[in-house]
Structure 1
Amino acid sequence: MKKRILLITALAGLVWGCAGPSETKQEEQNQQNLDLPVVSDVQKRNVIFILTDDHRFDYMGFTGKVPWLKTPNMDKLAEEGAYMENAFVTTSLCSPSRASILTGQYSHEHTIVDNVAPNPGNLVFFPQYLQKAGYQTGFFGKWHMGDEEDHPRPGFNHWESFKGQGEYYAPNLNINGERVQYDDSVYITDLLTEHALEWLDNRDEEKPFFMYLSHKAVHAHFKPAKRHEGMYAGKTIEKPDTYYQTEDDEYKELKWPEWVKDQRHSWHGVDYMYHGDGEFDELVQKYCETLMGVDESVGAVMEWLKKNGLDESTLVIYMGDNGFSWGEHGLIDKRHFYEESVKVPMLIRCPEIFEGGEPIDRMVQNVDVAPTVLEVAGLEKPDYMPGKSMVQLLKGDESGWRERIYYEYFWEYDFPMTPTVFGVRTDEYKYIRYHGIWDQNELYNIQDDPSEMYNLMGQEEYQDVSKQLATDLVNWLDETGGLQIPLKKTVKKPFGDYKHPDQY
């Protein structure tokens, strides 16, 4: 009876309020020191984590999605390591996803729910545990949580960063508190890679290291390195099945939400993408050209490891902070719970831990990064982290692994076109529920309908499936303190005064 009342109450409308039970749990953790139980028989490994911005999961050469796209270094990383075929974020937006990576928590727990929500000041980032355990830690690149200034980055002995989205050319870096302005011949992807490798060269070889290389690329507006400009000129991609405008009667048959149909006419849609800044194929070309600098960065890091005899023993993780839509459902950008938005590229390599060469299809999430790194550092993860170490999957052990993943996105003042979203995905079905609007929720059989074209909500034969997934979703929110939407600081602006996309 209790669960039934909970389900009815929660689905009728979640309430706005404070962060909920998880905040108390986190505060208790913060009162303790940063010592974690040590696993005595585990070697403390070096770790390199490479994060990119808005890199879609299948935009890598080896996937074959874009026949003309070449990413030799990512391809090699996948061949020698593991390609996590079903890697997801908990919120498909820069700041919330990055906060989930660093805290190992869901967005409603850490409360950095959008790109301007402030850091509540009570968060612990997992590199802080590494520091306390004797690691030397370095951060290079985009931080972008809570629209913060380029303040010191907690958990890092050495840090180089910039405010917000930064610039592709003529970047301004804050290096350990000293701001350095570079001229317009300097490209940010190359600069961050160069500085990261210099830090590795000058490290204390007696201590293990953790390096976090966080690229601005491939965020809009896409600007490739000069050497890559025009390399894909004239290339086109096949439009997705759900790209084209359909007649009203066809839309009714597909049963897509009204907000999705309307979105195609916004700057997050194919009819007015980025305020008309370029044609569709031209934007895809620039996106792929910009990705080339990232691929070369991956190659430079892997070459450094090999040159220094650390390529077998170092754990390397490559990941995107969220996915990106290129026309699916008439949409551009991210934020929604469709596959291309929530799924991210993830490549992992460490020959001394596991034999690579085979993709892994079990569902993993960004909240699994922190537990994974802590395990290879010989530390037990804190109880408040909901994720799991991926090491067991890398070693071929699938026992006890999750059967579903959960998703949340909170409405943004600056981008009101996308509503608050909650969702759950299994290997077979995806259930999407919208909050705060009177619109159509969604259910897809993603095995039979990977394009998520045919919404099954309302069909009698799927009522039990939708009810079960709705119950699972609410139970997850209840158990993790998510039935109250975290309040956030909202920046008031005149109507229509939108920030430039480079700021996101």
Structure 2
Amino acid sequence: MRKLTILSTTLIFMLCYMGEAKAQRSSKRPNIVYIMSDDHAYQAISAYGHGLNQTPNIDRLAKEGLLFTRASVTNSLCAPSRAVLLTGKHSYINGKIDNEAKFYWSQDNFAKILQANGYQTALIGKIHMDGLPEGFDHSAVLIDQGEYYQPNFIINGKKQQLKGYVTDLTTDMVLDWIAERDTSKPFCVLYHQKAPHREWLPALRHIKQYSSNTYPEPATLFDTFEGRGTAAKTAEMSIASHMNWAGDNKVPPTMMDELGLQEHMQWDKAAYNNNLARMSGTERAAWDSVYQPIMDNFKAAYPKMSSKELLQWRYQRYMQDYLGTVAAVDDGVGRLLDFLKEQGIDDNTIVIYTSDQGFYLGEHCWFDKRFMYEESLRTPLLIRYPKEIAAGQRSDALVQNLDFAPTLLDYAGIKAPKDMQGSSFRRLAAGRDSHWRDVVYYTYYEYPSIHMVKRHYGIRTDRYKLIHFYYDVDEWELYDLEKDPNELRNVYDDPAYATVKKNMIQQLKKVRKKYKDSEQNDLHYLPKGG
């Protein structure tokens, strides 16, 4: 009887201990892996259903978690978007209004807050901002835009050139850092890929497959911009007129000279030569074995090609290389998800995939971003966290990159500072709250500059979009996204939309006041002498 009592007591103790341990594990603060690629259009993720390519590993995040269909940015440009991510504040508040403005690392950011509250933090990959990153126990960042082959990194303040392909190297360093972390503490790693940023150089393992594919043309590839204002007509991001022949389309500079093709940007030929010169002899031979026949065929066909055929050829070249670089990003996501599972931490790790903004994949005959039009404004956003987010969910909520900082702090159990302008979408993602904002605010400042996209600001609601272009023009555009999803018809002066116009202008005024923006800010950020 005594033995049974001792056994029962021991069993009860063990069960209590196991229950307590399980409770402790379930209450542990989650790890965070925030994946941000550069210029990755939502159209180039197969989970979004556009049929351009296959991204099975990124799609896993949608299958096992939540996909946002209308996520957007506050400023569609590389460095400003990253500044918004870190600070949770609009560009005119954090000061990083464009790629040239200085970012002050001394200001608060969510990584600093996580770090101060017991998180291990790391930033690995592209950040595109000068200065040693603050808020991170470990940093390994590319210099400026970075290079695809044999890239240079600044690793904890020291420059180092690494051998290999940048997308794979960035993934390697992320996995190594997670493996070597202090397992007694939660971690947050910003896993930032260079790809698919210009000038698109795919990994050698992907070039043969992707360079042989033919991709569907967007409905607006031959857009004439009828019915729209000055901004769309004067932007310099046309595949036909402004894309570089050598750096972008990979036409060798010597062949450009033979065919009489002119540089649009003065660094066109230099970009080609410098990028390919970074390859080893073996890599360059493998590259040339695929690309040289393509260029030989182009050289033979060029004299008889119509302007339409030439645009179509350039579009295919663009898509082949762009989507080829995406393939390696997808490979990296797969490696990460498998690694987290192998480590037994996948259930307690939040994995977010996004891009610093959207990108044009031939829509309106454009490449690049910057505009408030949909392809540029919208960014992919997928999140997996089994403890809170049910598998296979989709949301049309108007979340923004402004919301990342407060959301990540919320997951870590930390209250966001009052001066952060975004909102946590944690409850929204978990399906515990359907209430969310009904309008988002956007600003763009980098003009005059590369691509010549005029300065503008505006708002987007569930159905409508209002944009004001200013500085050297004073033009307004209004779009009905339900009837005109491709944004081909500006209805600002259409009498049928008079009431909508009035309501949107009122909303714009309220939003600018809410986010502490004003005409004074617009004037403050004009170029010197402007």
> Shorter-chain TM-score: what band?
0.7 to 0.9
Match of 2:31 in 1: 46
Give the Å deviation of 1:353: 1.4
- CA separation in 1, counterparts of 2:38 and 2:528? 23
Q: Describe the SS at the equivalent of 1:143.
A: coil
Question: In 1, distance between residues paired with 2:157 and 2:202?
Answer: 28
Partner of 1:195: 173
Q: Deviations over 1:273-292 (max 9, x none)?
A: 32334211111111001001
Percent identical: 37
Query: Which residues in structure 2 correspond to 1:384-395 (within 5 Å)?
Result: 384-395=419-430
What displacement does 1:164 show? 0.9
Q: Alpha-carbon deviation of 1:42?
A: 6.5
The answer as to whether partners of 2:195 and 2:325 remain within 8 angstroms in 1 is yes
User: Match for 2:200 among 185, 201, 222?
Assistant: 222
**Partners of 2:468 and 2:474 within 8 A in 1:** no
Letter in 2 for 1:239: E
1:73 matches 2:57: yes
How far does the alpha carbon of each residue in 1:143-183 deviate from its partner, in whole angstroms, 9 at most, with x for none?
A: 113xx1xx321110011012210111111111112221124
In structure 2, the CA distance between the partners of 1:143 and 1:256, relative to structure 1 (3 Å rule), is same
Higher helix share: 2
**Is the contact made by 1:143 and 1:214 (CA closer than 8 Å) also made in structure 2?**
yes
Q: How does 1:341-380 map to 2 (within 5 A)?
A: 341-380=376-415
Report the counterpart of residue 64 of structure 1 in structure 2: 49
Matching of residues 36-435 of structure 1 within 5 Å: 43-67=28-52, 69-120=53-104, 122-145=106-129, 148=130, 151-183=131-163, 186-246=164-224, 254-263=226-235, 266=236, 268-276=237-245, 277-278=248-249, 279-415=314-450, 417-435=452-470
1:239 is paired with a residue whose SS is coil
TM-fit CA distance, 1:489: 10
- 2:512 aligned with 1:477: yes
Deviation at 1:453, TM superposition (A): 1.3
- Residue 60 of structure 1 aligns with an amino acid whose one-letter code is I
Deviation at 1:439, TM superposition (A): 5.4
Query: Quick one: distance in 2 between partners of 1:125 and 1:355?
Result: 29
Q: For 1:86 and 1:308, how far apart are their aligned partners in 2?
A: 33
Runs (5+) with no aligned partner, structure 2: 1-25, 250-313
Structure 1 residue 122: Cα displacement: 4.8
Partner of 1:462: 497
1:443 to 456, 469, 478: 478
Specify the alignment match of 1:38 in structure 2: none
1:180-226 Cα distance to aligned partner (Å, 9 max, x none) = 1124xx11111111111111111001011001101101100001111
Distance 2:464 2:49 in 1: 25
Count residues in correspondence.
436
Higher-Rg member (1/2): 2
- Compute the TM-score of the two structures, normalised by the length of structure 1: 0.83
**Structure 1 segments (4+ residues) deviating >6 Å:** 489-492
Q: What is the distance in 2 between the residues matched to 1:129 and 1:303?
A: 29
The SS at the match of 1:213 is strand
How far did 1:262 drift? Answer: 2.9
Distance 2:421 2:154 in 1: 33
Q: Is the 8 A contact 1:47 1:314 kept in 2?
A: yes
SS state at 1:194 partner: helix
Contact 2:41–2:361, Cα closer than 8 Å, also in 1? no
